[in-house]
Amino acid sequence: MQAQFNVPSTILIGGGASRQLATQVGRLGGRRALIVTDATMARTGLAARCTEQLAAANVSVAVFAGVQPDPTDKNVCDGLALLRNEKCDLVIGLGGGSPMDAAKVIAVAATNDVPIREFAGYHRVAKPGLPLLLIPTTAGTGSEVTKVAVITDTERDIKMMMLDAHLLARVALVDYELSLTMPASLTAHVGVDTLTHGIEAFVSRKANALTDPLAAECIRLTAANLFTAWQEPNNRTAREAMMLAACLGGMAFANSSVCLVHGMSRPIGAIFHLAHGLSNALLLPEITRWSRRGAVPRYAHVARLAGAAASDAADEAAATALPDYLEGLNARLGIGRLRDFIKAGPDVFEAKLPAMAEAALASGSPQNNPLVPSMEDIIQLYRHVW
Ligand SMILES: NC(=O)c1ccc[n+]([C@@H]2O[C@H](COP(=O)([O-])OP(=O)(O)OC[C@H]3O[C@@H](n4cnc5c(N)ncnc54)[C@H](O)[C@@H]3O)[C@@H](O)[C@H]2O)c1
Ligand SMILES: [Fe+2]
């Protein structure tokens, strides 16, 4: 089997890496930068710190701080309008996955004059975008190193998954110090998203020789550090390890694939507005329990990496232990059940199931799962998770 592997050509990683922003913008020849970010980054002064750094290097800056969590097509259009008004020649995404994804799509929309829903799917971006630099502040989505963006289509209420090498950043500045301010619940949600990236990349039908070691290390690091990062927000060792895990997980899943958890998670996010990491976390134990029959040796390896099973445990026993471990991890991180988060109630949830299952299948992700589900399987799984 052949595999294609894409990552940014420059990744600077380590405490303080974000202070290299102006140097890297200079290297790319940018004169007028658009910073794409959100209200939190504007409020905490992080966006201003970037602006000052760039101004000192004679790069003019426009700031678009209007990205909402789980960004929409409208966010992208608003950012694009500012980019055009200000005649920006370079885009910087600063924040969690939401601002980074919006920045990616703004950068390609600036050079590809088509409606943004045309980018949805695989390899649908015709021309390279403006030069793009990404700075993550969560650990996280790994979006800083992926060729993926997820944007909500507000008219159709679906999350559009876009995958194309033109969505890659030219430079990723991976600075764990920016993640120290994450509150506990955000740390938990984005951290389980990272773990899900590692696991899904590893068990995916598209897993390959380049992604396996990255996914394995992502799983090992997350299992060893997430709880500490959650419990001790100022523990720099745990924060640094989680930032690395997120980056490795991004490189792995974007070049392997995510599977059924992400496939079923996006419709929950689009319809009930649960944060991406949270909806993944709520699904992960049960979907793992169902899927493990499709790849017992791989799930067993994941269990050993996570410390959910002894290193000499037999495959069947190790794979069986994994969903229980994942359930326990959610409990330790204070993550409840799906029903706790869907305010619309069970009847509305039930009524939406066929459309959600259809959207999950249409995304293509479930088809990479070790066991490929039918529409009815997905509906049943949603009911189990409830
Ligand atoms: N492109 C990819 O490869 C990829 C992968 C996974 C997820 N995603 C997408 O990423 C989005 C989710 O991103 P996310 O989970 O990073 O969260 P987010 O970007 O939506 O941010 C969530 C909240 O956390 C705040 N926040 C961010 N960093 C902070 C910090 N250091 N301190 C305090 N608050 C902070 C934000 O301001 C926001 O209010 C979803 O839209 C999801 O679909 C993309
Ligand atoms: Fe994810």
Query: Does 286 reside within a domain?
Result: yes
Mark whether 193 and 144 lie in a shared domain. Answer: no
Provide the strand spans (E) within the chain. Answer: 10-13, 32-36, 60-64, 90-95, 121-122, 132-136, 148-153, 158-163, 171-174
Which of 296-299's residues contact partners 24+ apart within 8 Å by CB, and which partners?
298/202, 298/203, 298/207, 298/370, 299/203, 299/370
Decide if 63 contacts 47 (C-beta within 8 A): yes
Query: Does 2 reside within a domain?
Result: no
Mark whether 141 and 221 lie in a shared domain. Answer: no
Where is the domain boundary, 179, 202, 237? 179
Query: Does 5 reside within a domain?
Result: no
Query: Does 239 reside within a domain?
Result: yes
* Spatial separation of the C-alpha atoms in residues 23 and 15, rounded to whole Å: 16
Where is the domain boundary, 128, 148, 179? 179
**Cβ < 6 A, ligand 1 pocket:** 38, 40, 69-70, 95-99, 101, 137-138, 140-143, 146, 148-150, 178-179, 181-182, 186, 190, 193, 250, 276-277
pLDDT at 299: 98
pLDDT at 225: 98
Query: Does 4 reside within a domain?
Result: no
Which ligand does the CA of 192 lie closest to?
2
Mark whether 219 and 340 lie in a shared domain. Answer: yes
* Spatial separation of the C-alpha atoms in residues 285 and 261, rounded to whole Å: 9
Mark whether 248 and 355 lie in a shared domain. Answer: yes
Which ligand does the CA of 255 lie closest to?
1
Mark whether 160 and 14 lie in a shared domain. Answer: yes
Q: Which residues of the chain fall below pLDDT 70?
A: none
pLDDT at 157: 84
Cα 196 to ligand 2 centre (Å)? 7
Mark whether 228 and 172 lie in a shared domain. Answer: no
Where is the domain boundary, 179, 214, 238? 179
**Domain range for residue 345?**
184-385
Cα 150 to ligand 2 centre (Å)? 10
pLDDT at 224: 98
pLDDT at 383: 97
pLDDT at 295: 98
Cα 71 to ligand 2 centre (Å)? 14
Mark whether 364 and 260 lie in a shared domain. Answer: yes
Distance of CA 194 to the CA centre of its chain: 7
Mark whether 263 and 312 lie in a shared domain. Answer: yes
Residue from 242, 218, 221 nearest 230 by CA: 242
Mark whether 227 and 163 lie in a shared domain. Answer: no
Q: Give the chain's domain count.
A: 2
Calculate the alpha carbon distances from 55 to 51, 52, 62 in Å: 6, 5, 11
Mark whether 199 and 317 lie in a shared domain. Answer: yes
pLDDT at 159: 86
Query: Does 94 reside within a domain?
Result: yes
Query: Does 203 reside within a domain?
Result: yes
- Identify the H or E element spanning 168: none
Residues in the chain: 386
pLDDT at 1: 80
Instruction: Report the CATH number at residue 144.
Output: 3.40.50.1970
Decide if 300 contacts 319 (C-beta within 8 A): yes
Instruction: Report the CATH number at residue 375.
Output: 1.20.1090.10
pLDDT at 334: 96
Query: Does 1 reside within a domain?
Result: no
pLDDT at 158: 85
Mark whether 355 and 333 lie in a shared domain. Answer: yes
Mark whether 215 and 156 lie in a shared domain. Answer: no
Total-model pTM = 0.97
pLDDT at 296: 98
**Dihedral of alpha carbons 244, 247, 251, 256, sign:** positive
